[in-house]
Amino acid sequence: MTTDRPCDLTIIVPCYNTERYLGEALASLERLKVSALEVLLINDGSTDGSMALMADAARRDGRFRVIDKANEGYGATVNRGIDEARGRYVGILEPDDFFYEGAVERLLDTALATGADVVKGDFTFYWSKDGGRDVPAGVISSDMVDRPVDTRVDTRIFRAKASIWSALYRRAFLNECGIRCQTTPGASFQDTSFSFKVYASASQVRFVDVPVVHYRQDNEASSVNSKDKANAVVHEFDVIDAWLEGSAGTEHREALRLEAQIARFNACLWNLDRLGDETATGFVEDMAAWYADAERRQALDLASWDGWRITNLRALERDPKRYLGLRRRFRGDTAISKALFALALGGPAALAAALSERAGRS
């Protein structure tokens, strides 16, 4: 593909020292049945064999182009890809993940047929041991599928885990709204504010009920396992709060403020569960202090929070170390483990609140 030819889709792959997993990601890209495609393999100063793997892939497949640059971090690398992209739509694949066969084609067909600002699919949590295991994330409700959704009005997607790599974005929409990742050097979770701004700005989103990405959980080098980056998610929500105050339209601002509060709480708890014990102790204490201060400043709209989140917040504020201990003790994805956690946290009333919140999500 020539460098000035427009195309339907650009996939951006920001690469930094992921030689161990990159081959699987590249293979899933080579299988894409999209002729009007460019894949931007962006080497962010890797010191392992990633660059050689990318160069080999580009020699095999003329749709691939390698960009080699000094290390700047994830956000700056994704932004470089958006700036250089020529596709009508833009997607992102992290190099330790890989696409489900046929999923990107399904997203693109929907995008081109509808002209949506965003087309989003689901994903699975993936562990590569013992032949591979996938657990559905379940971030898309069935009633959201196959219809246009204004996510500024139907705000449920804000309460799901940010997953910018399971969607395609209309490039003109990103440019018109000035949506890019944060570029703080060495920071993580830089997809969090990107994702929030996307759904707070889009007038038409299409949801497709297919898993798009195997989202790897057993990469020990992943930023979610880094002690130094534990607080990066907090910074992302500080960015979101500032953006809401200074840049967002006024019509939906109050609803979006509430969603930012809920999303911050969800993301902090998700991050807490991923951290090692020593790092988690400091994080949960900082989290409790932040929320106590926010309450003193009357910065939280707790009247709009559901009972289960209020139960968690109060337990966190009363005794953050005990709260962490209970989350560790009853950690699990089963209904039984979650019920036991609720009972330990606050007895039958807490269990009732948990069941009510779960029913609301369903």
Q: Is the pLDDT of residue 347 over 90?
A: yes
**pTM for this model (two decimals):** 0.91
Asked if 193 and 299 sit in the same domain, the reply is no
Is residue 300 scored above 90 in pLDDT?
yes
- Give the model's pLDDT for residue 1: 42
Say whether both 33 and 120 belong to one domain.
Answer: yes
What is the reported pLDDT for 362?
Answer: 59
Whether 2 maps to a domain, the answer reads no
Q: Which of 181, 196, 227 represents a domain boundary (last residue)?
A: 227
Question: Are the C-beta atoms of 124 and 215 separated by less than 8 Å?
Answer: yes
Structural domain boundaries enclosing 290: 231-361
pLDDT of 154 over the 80 cut:
yes
Assess whether pLDDT exceeds 80 at residue 315.
yes
* Same domain flag for 161 and 88: yes
| Interval 101-122: pLDDT, tens | 999 999 999 999 999 999 999 9
User: What's the pLDDT at 244?
Assistant: 92
pLDDT > 90 fraction of the chain, expressed in percent and rounded: 79
Task: Identify the domain boundary among 170, 204, 227.
Answer: 227
Strands 37-44 and 64-69: parallel
Is 59 inside any structural domain? yes
Do 217 and 308 belong to one domain?
A: no
Instruction: Give pLDDT, residue 270.
Output: 87
Asked whether residue 1 is domain-assigned, the answer is no
127: Cβ contacts below 8 Å, ≥ 6 apart = 133, 216, 217, 218
The per-residue pLDDT of the chain, averaged, comes to 92
- Say whether both 65 and 94 belong to one domain: yes
DSSP string, 327-353: HHHT--SSHHHHHHHHHHHHHHHHHHH
Kindly state whether residues 194 and 329 are assigned to the same domain: no
- Total count of domains within the chain: 2
Q: Which distant-in-sequence residues (6+ apart) come within 8 Å of 352 by Cβ?
A: 307
Do 192 and 244 lie in one domain? The reply is no
**What pLDDT, on a 0 to 100 scale, did the predictor assign at position 358?**
78
**Once rounded to an integer, what is the mean pLDDT over residues 342-354?**
94
**What is residue 232's predicted lDDT score, i.e. its pLDDT?**
85
Same domain for 330 and 189, yes or no, is: no
Among the ranges given (84-98, 101-115, 216-230), the one the predictor scored with the smallest mean pLDDT: 216-230
- Is residue 155 domain-shared with residue 260, that is, in the same domain? no
Residue with tokens 């250089």: 84
Last residue of one domain, picked from the residues 181, 200, 227:
227
CATH number at residue 87: 3.90.550.10
pLDDT single digits (tens) 302-314: 999 999 999 999 9
pLDDT of 359? 76
Q: Which pLDDT tens digit goes with each residue over 29-66?
A: 999 999 999 999 999 999 999 999 999 999 999 999 99
Distance, CA of 2 to CA of 171 (rounded, Å): 19
From the number of C-beta atoms within 10 Å of its C-beta (0-12, 13-18, 19+), residue 194 rates as buried
For residue 75, the model assigns a pLDDT of: 94
Same domain, 179 and 247: no
**pLDDT (0 to 100) of residue 190:** 83
Q: Are residues 69 and 196 in the same domain?
A: yes
Nearest Cα neighbor of 170 from 36, 41, 10, 40 is 10
Question: Is residue 223 domain-shared with residue 235, that is, in the same domain?
Answer: no
The Cα 175–Cα 52 span in angstroms is: 32
Question: pLDDT (tens digit, 9 = 90+) per residue, 8-36?
Answer: 999 999 999 999 999 999 999 999 999 99
